[in-house]
Amino acid sequence: MNSSKQTASTSFKAPDSSSLQLNDQGRLRHFLTTENLSKDILTEIMDVAESFSSVADQAVKKVPVLRGKTIVNLFFEDSTRTRTTFELAAKRLSADVINLNIATSATSKGESILDTIRNLEAMHADMFVVRHGDSGAAHFIARHVAPHVSVINAGDGRHAHPTQAMLDMFSIRREKKEFKGLKVAIIGDILHSRVARSQIHALNTLGVQEVRVIAPSTLLPSDTKSLGVQVHGDLRSGLDGVDVIIMLRLQRERMGGALLPSEHEYFECFGLTAEKLAYAKPDVTVMHPGPINRGVEMDADVADGKHSIILQQVTNGIAIRMAVMTLALGANRASDSS
């Protein structure tokens, strides 16, 4: 036996997503990915969000449900938009919110993520809302937090962005009432999109008829079909008869990385215009996570047109995040007392 040997502090077979996300009563404890969550859980998130949507009508836009809880927005990657919606959601639930923008500085000073987590736990944080550039970061943190702490994934690398996906599901349900029979097309940079992955899992679990992805092959993952989608390289055929169109954001840095020749050519092939929209169902719903690159991803008149629900998505995003936070902290407490 070697005296200087290090011992393993963690279990070596990492638990899968569903056992990590649910408590022993099957309630949502962390929200890391939409994958492997049941239809019931996804529906419950939307139902609770529906109840929270009335809070915005109140003169005091606040409910006391998470009073005394401390929620830490732990952003290793800067995103003002996402952080703001989480912050607003937490404040409407009467939680105390701390915003930490770590954006590589603390870790480059030699502080590991685990050191950061331990420090915040010592300050009695109840929830971490985590944004990180590495796929798997939220899973990693969820595996290492104290039992009373919940983790919400606010976007990890290219992996998952489950609250964004659920606000899109919630927006679709409000528009279309049910998922059965729907044909949904997701257009754009699937390869780098955490949102698309989370949407695909959620749409398939909620029972839509068909999920299509429409993109140039340089912006598709190696094995796209294994995600449970149909792949189209042509926008017109891909849009044929769809009920819902979800546009993805196209990062400018994709140009020049041997992925796309130019914004102009991208718009010509994959940009959504009124002419192309006509291939979809007459009552098609158009969604986009914002901010829109007008003239690259879609025409301004489509973005602002009658099919677009882009601003409702933003409003729905707050209710969804309130729902997820309340459910996760509720599940944690419920499992404590049992």
Q: Is 136 in the site for other proteins (CB under 8 A)?
A: yes
Cα 323 to chain centroid distance, Å, stands at 14
Shortest reach from residue 38's CB to other proteins, in Å: 14
Question: Which run of H or of E encompasses 114?
Answer: helix 113-122
Q: How do beta strands 150-156 and 183-187 pair?
A: unpaired
Q: How far apart are CA 54 and CA 77, in angstroms?
A: 32
Q: Which of residues 167-206 bind other proteins (CB under 8 A)?
A: 194, 197
In angstroms, what CA-CA distances link 60 with 49, 63, 64, 88, 226?
18, 8, 11, 13, 47
Q: Out of 50, 96, 210, 263, point to the residue binding other proteins (CB under 8 A).
A: 50
The pair phi, psi for residue 76, each rounded to 5°, is -85, -5
Q: Out of 39, 62, 124, 264, point to the residue binding other proteins (CB under 8 A).
A: 62
Q: Is 47 in the site for other proteins (CB under 8 A)?
A: yes
Q: Is 160 in the site for other proteins (CB under 8 A)?
A: yes
- Structural tokens at position 55: 């809070």
Shortest reach from residue 112's CB to other proteins, in Å: 7
Q: Is 65 in the site for other proteins (CB under 8 A)?
A: yes
Window of 158-166, 230-238, 268-276, 295-303 that interacts with other proteins by CB under 8 A: 158-166
Q: How far apart are CA 318 and CA 85, in angstroms?
A: 6
- The DSSP output letter for 33 is -
* Dihedral over alpha carbons 109, 114, 118, 124 (to 10 degrees): 110
Shortest reach from residue 238's CB to other proteins, in Å: 19
Q: Out of 38, 105, 112, 262, point to the residue binding other proteins (CB under 8 A).
A: 112
Task: Please name the residues in contact with 232: beta carbons below 8 A apart, sequence gap of 6 or more.
Answer: 185, 212, 213, 214, 238
Q: Is 157 in the site for other proteins (CB under 8 A)?
A: yes
Q: Out of 96, 121, 134, 175, point to the residue binding other proteins (CB under 8 A).
A: 134
Q: Is 165 in the site for other proteins (CB under 8 A)?
A: no
Look-up of token digits 């937490």? 90
CB 185 within 8 A of CB 244: yes
Residues that bind other proteins (CB under 8 A): 1-2, 4-10, 12-17, 20, 27, 35, 44, 47-48, 50-55, 57-60, 62-66, 68, 93, 112-114, 132, 134-137, 139-140, 144, 156-160, 194, 197, 221-224, 226-227, 326-327, 330-331, 333-334, 337
